[in-house]
Structure 1
Amino acid sequence: MFSFFKGNSITTSELQAKLETKPEVIDVREKNEFASGHIPGAKNIPLSKVTSYTKKGEEAVYVICQSGMRSRQAVKKLKAKGIGAINVKGGMSAWRGAVRGGKL
């Protein structure tokens, strides 16, 4: 019954280990949140605009927000479009890796 959800999320440490292969990471927070600090190489596509996202290729896209709630919504929207999307559990609140931006 719950196998539908299997493989739909990873932890921040699992994502950090994957960054060497340069996966596509989408940050669905608003622009000001993204500017305050994001994963290097992540694309900022706010949740309100995620349905306009198009993906080339078969590789999964990793979706992150601040806590994991908006990214979970975004994953549902992307999967409905046929895009392989994976939620990053805990979001930037749980992220312990390198961060770009956020310098005032």
Structure 2
Amino acid sequence: MFGFSKVNSISPDDLAQKLQQNKTQLIDVREVNEFRSGHIKGARNIPLSQIDRFSTTSSSKIYVICQSGMRSKKAYKILEKKGLDVTNVMGGMSAWKGKTVRG
């Protein structure tokens, strides 16, 4: 009706469990300086402005995260159109309670 499409999402707590269970692809779509100031260990930084160039040969699920969840929703839609199995992290890094690394 309003052009909204459903976005598959996961809570930060559920993401923390997924990261412990198996190998997951986590893409942080924040800008480089934001990523360097603190990110989830193992996350790959691909700013939203570059996400359309992302490709993978892996069939594993891709989780996307940003600061609040808005940019990652945009990234989700771009990656979904590419046919990738993608899930948005609700609330982004603002809602993340786990450890972060710098650099």
Common fold by TM > 0.5: yes
Q: Residues 51-62 of structure 1: matches in 2 within 5 Å?
A: 51-62=52-63
> TM-score with structure 1 length normalisation?
0.89
| 1:59 match: secondary structure | coil
> TM-score with structure 2 length normalisation?
0.90
Report how many aligned residue pairs link the two structures: 99
Q: CA deviation at 1:57?
A: 2.4
1:18 matched residue in structure 2: 18
| 2:73 match: secondary structure | helix
Cα deviation code 1:15-68 (max 9, x no counterpart): 000111131100000000000000000000000000100022221100000000
Q: Which moved more, 1:86-95 or 1:16-25?
A: 16-25
1:85 matched residue in structure 2: 86
2:94, 2:73 → 1: CA distance?
15
Q: Identify if the C-alpha distance between structure 1 residues 22 and 98 changes in structure 2 by more than 3 Å, giving closer, same or farther.
A: farther
1:69 matched residue in structure 2: 70
RMSD: 1.6
1:45 matched residue in structure 2: 46
Identity %: 52
Structure 1 segments (4+ residues) deviating >2 Å = none
Gaps (5+ residues) in structure 2?
Answer: none
1:69, 1:12 → 2: CA distance?
15
Gaps (5+ residues) in structure 1?
Answer: none
